[in-house]
Amino acid sequence: MFRKILIANRGEIVARVIRTARRMGIATVAVHSDADRDALHVALADEAVRIGPAEAARSYLDIEAVVAAAKASGAEAVHPGYGFLSENPDFVDAVEAAGLVFIGPSAQAIRAMGLKDAAKALMETAGVSVVPGYHGAVQDAAFLAQEAERIGYPVLIKARAGGGGKGMRRVGDPAGFAAALESTRREAEGAFGDGRVLVEKYMAKPRHIEVQVFGDRHGNVVHLFERDCSLQRRHQKVIEEAPAPGMTPETRSAMGEAACRAAAAIGYSGAGTVEFIADVSEGLRPDRFHFMEMNTRLQVEHPVTEAITGLDLVEWQLRVAAGEPLPRRQEEISMTGWAFEARLYAENPARDFLPATGRLSLFDLPKDVRVDSGVRAGDAITPHYDPMIAKVIADGRDRAEALAKLEAALTRCHIAGVTTNAAFLARLCRLPAFAAGDVDTGLIARSGEGLLVEPPPSDEAFALAALAALGFLAAPAGRDPWERLRGFRLWGPATQSVFLAYGAEEHELRVTPRGEAFEVERGSVAVRLHLLASDGHAVRIDSGGRSLAATVHREGSEIAVFLDGAAHVFSVPDDPGHHGEPAAGGDRLVAPMPGLVRIVSAAPGARVSRGEPLVTMEAMKMELVLSAPRDGVVAGVPVAAGDQVAEGALLLSLEAEDAA
């Protein structure tokens, strides 16, 4: 076994690999950019090497710098994690040329699966069913349109070099084909440097089911059952589970067998995932799933497989890379129970999932479920990298128990300072269709506003924020926590007023002590809260005979209230440093964060209508589509595709209202 390995990645996955390496007595080397000097993954590793500036292209994606760091540190092998260089065959070549072991498949296996068209052709010859469509070399627009007709609408145009859910367009009818092809090509050219596409049948009621495979260097291939990743948003996974709900023994063995055949066809070694798309319009059937692509690395959602099999996939990766045979034969691998993983992102679901940045002033995650995290309290989420900050993994004896544990865990994610999708994920757990296991990739999109938008704070949440703003929850250090309250009652003014902003609205709250309680009025609503206990953070109240535990966190002008499974952030508007929601509407489109301009789809003089997408940016690996704030005529576009822009940079302006 290796004595020392380098982990060529950042964040959560580095922490994950270190955990297993440490258990196996293997020393770890982390790499980091300037932005990550103080990051968790650096602190956890035995040693760390700086590899470049914040920009990923000049640090985590710099093959030479990573290989040089590995050599200099005396590591014997390199674990690539996921994303970054993990599926780059040139990186594998460079690692091996330096005399080191790549913890993953051969460069040749990665090349075989790297492009979706070539992978499909290969799978066809291996006898694995592929999604009906055209994946040949001809790229002529008229020819592809003809192929789309043959396949039958709706179709999906897909960049052959695509990944991360990008470079895909669903086309419903022939009229939309030419424009969709054009924009997919442009996006693929920009994002992957390869504009070639394939055209696929768009599955009727699609479910994403993938099989975890493992190969070794002695020709053995096994599978570790399936995961269902159908809960997606814009082709990106949101919550994954294992096993797949509704899976039958016939379909499971057909899928497992097809996945192993795919891996064996390319002499696969290490961890890999064969992704299938299943048409479940008539249930999950053994003849209704097709090969979609293979990911030649450890997958983000591997923990759900670990939970049901009791195996450590990183340990398997290390053993296989060190030349050992697979630890178990197929018949020795079994599964029990059910597991879910939710991806916790720094993003705002209510604002079209805009990635969020900031400092995590509070980062308190539940301790009774598995949490794989790449950050800790006090860390900054910067615009340089992926907004995924943690994965919450819950398991149980059956699906209902695992899902209940996941939901409970998500409501106990107490995070402040950065907007996250935690509450959205918890709401997702409550969707009846999800609870029933009736999932498909369109479920989130169909579920509407109620899922995306935070319900307004309860009266108690408002009242607690008001008490926090007035300082009534804080326990003075080393003194009787009730003294302050008593003092207030003795000589404080009868009623105090405080203004709180919630979203774009401001509210006046009036707080009056009444015996042992506080009466808090907001407009015509009044609640009476008995403060049963408070240490300034964990608070227990009684409201109308109901005893409730809450967490209240104040940082600067922001007050976060966690109560009854909901999280709300208020701010005290007069405090310096308060940032309201950026003004919407108006004449200007500005960059919500630093990033790269990908597509500009309007020119000066063009008439646009409210909501029409005008500029597409990429930041934190996410695509941000910025739309027209109102109907009007474009006055100027000071940026072009390919420009790197700062936060607040003007992207496009509209002619003044009366001129339009």
C-beta of residue 567 within 8 angstroms of C-beta of residue 615: no
Interacting residue with ligand ADP among 131, 452, 615, 652 (CB under 6 A)? 131
Taking the alpha carbons of 67, 71, 73, 78 in that order, is the dihedral positive or negative?
positive
In the complex, minimum distance from the CB of residue 273 to ligand ADP, in angstroms, rounded to a whole number: 7
Q: Which is nearer to ligand ADP, 296 or 309 (CB)?
A: 296
In the complex, minimum distance from the CB of residue 36 to Mg ion, in angstroms, rounded to a whole number: 27
H-state helical runs in 570-630: none
Q: Which does 304 bind (CB under 5 to 8 A by kind): ligand ADP, Mg ion, none?
A: none
Interacting residue with ligand ADP among 83, 272, 595, 629 (CB under 6 A)? 83
User: Pairing state of beta strands 505-514 and 380-381?
Assistant: unpaired
Taking the alpha carbons of 171, 174, 179, 181 in that order, is the dihedral positive or negative?
positive
Q: Which is nearer to ligand ADP, 164 or 556 (CB)?
A: 164
Site residue total, ligand ADP (CB under 6 A): 29
CA neighbor of 268 nearest in space, from 104, 65, 470, 392: 104
- Find the angle CA(601)-CA(606)-CA(607) to the nearest 5 degrees: 110
Q: Which stretch binds Mg ion (CB under 5 A): 14-22, 170-178, 269-277, 546-554?
A: 269-277
Q: Which is nearer to ligand ADP, 292 or 465 (CB)?
A: 292
Beta bridge partners of 501: 506, 571
Q: Which stretch binds ligand ADP (CB under 6 A): 26-34, 91-99, 292-300, 466-474?
A: 292-300
HSE value, Cβ hemisphere, 13 Å, CA-based, for 570: 29
Contact track, Mg ion, 369-388, x by CB under 5 A? --------------------
Q: Which is nearer to Mg ion, 275 or 341 (CB)?
A: 275
Q: Which is nearer to ligand ADP, 109 or 292 (CB)?
A: 292
226 in contact with ligand ADP (CB under 6 A) = no
Q: What is the DSSP string of 393-424?
A: EEEESSHHHHHHHHHHHHHT-EEESS--SHHH
**Which residues, numbered 328-387, are part of the site for ligand ADP (CB under 6 A)?**
386
In the complex, minimum distance from the CB of residue 232 to Mg ion, in angstroms, rounded to a whole number: 10
C-alpha 491/C-alpha 390 separation (Å) is 47
Interacting residue with ligand ADP among 104, 206, 374, 383 (CB under 6 A)? 206
Give the three-class secondary structure for 631: coil
| Position 641, amino acid | A
Taking the alpha carbons of 428, 433, 438, 444 in that order, is the dihedral positive or negative?
negative
Q: Which does 162 bind (CB under 5 to 8 A by kind): Mg ion, ligand ADP, none?
A: ligand ADP
In the complex, minimum distance from the CB of residue 150 to ligand ADP, in angstroms, rounded to a whole number: 15
Active site annotation includes 19: no
Interacting residue with ligand ADP among 164, 267, 503, 636 (CB under 6 A)? 164
C-alpha 405/C-alpha 455 separation (Å) is 22
Interacting residue with ligand ADP among 19, 22, 50, 235 (CB under 6 A)? 235
DSSP letter at 516 equals: T
In the complex, minimum distance from the CB of residue 6 to ligand ADP, in angstroms, rounded to a whole number: 19
Beta bridge partners of 623: 618
Q: Which is nearer to Mg ion, 26 or 130 (CB)?
A: 130
C-beta of residue 565 within 8 angstroms of C-beta of residue 556: no
**Which residues, numbered 129-158, are part of the site for Mg ion (CB under 5 A)?**
none
Q: What is the DSSP string of 148-159?
A: HHHH-SSEEEEE
H-state helical runs in 132-273: 141-151, 177-192, 249-265
Q: Which is nearer to Mg ion, 275 or 440 (CB)?
A: 275
C-beta of residue 456 within 8 angstroms of C-beta of residue 523: no
Q: Which is nearer to ligand ADP, 89 or 206 (CB)?
A: 206
Contact track, ligand ADP, 249-278, x by CB under 6 A? --------------------------x-x-
In the complex, minimum distance from the CB of residue 163 to ligand ADP, in angstroms, rounded to a whole number: 2
C-beta of residue 411 within 8 angstroms of C-beta of residue 426: yes
Out of 297, 399, 412, 427, pick the active-site residue.
Answer: 297
239 in contact with ligand ADP (CB under 6 A) = no
Taking the alpha carbons of 192, 196, 202, 206 in that order, is the dihedral positive or negative?
negative
**Strands, sheet with 133-134, edge to edge from the N-terminal-most edge strand:** 133-134, 197-201, 155-159, 168-171
User: Pairing state of beta strands 27-33 and 4-7?
Assistant: parallel
205 in contact with ligand ADP (CB under 6 A) = no
In the complex, minimum distance from the CB of residue 548 to ligand ADP, in angstroms, rounded to a whole number: 37
Interacting residue with ligand ADP among 62, 226, 241, 293 (CB under 6 A)? 293
Binding site for ligand ADP (CB under 6 A): 82-83, 131, 156, 162-165, 168, 200-203, 206, 208, 232, 235, 237, 275, 277, 292-293, 295, 299-301, 386, 441, 621
Residues marked active site are found at 297
Binding site for Mg ion (CB under 5 A): 275
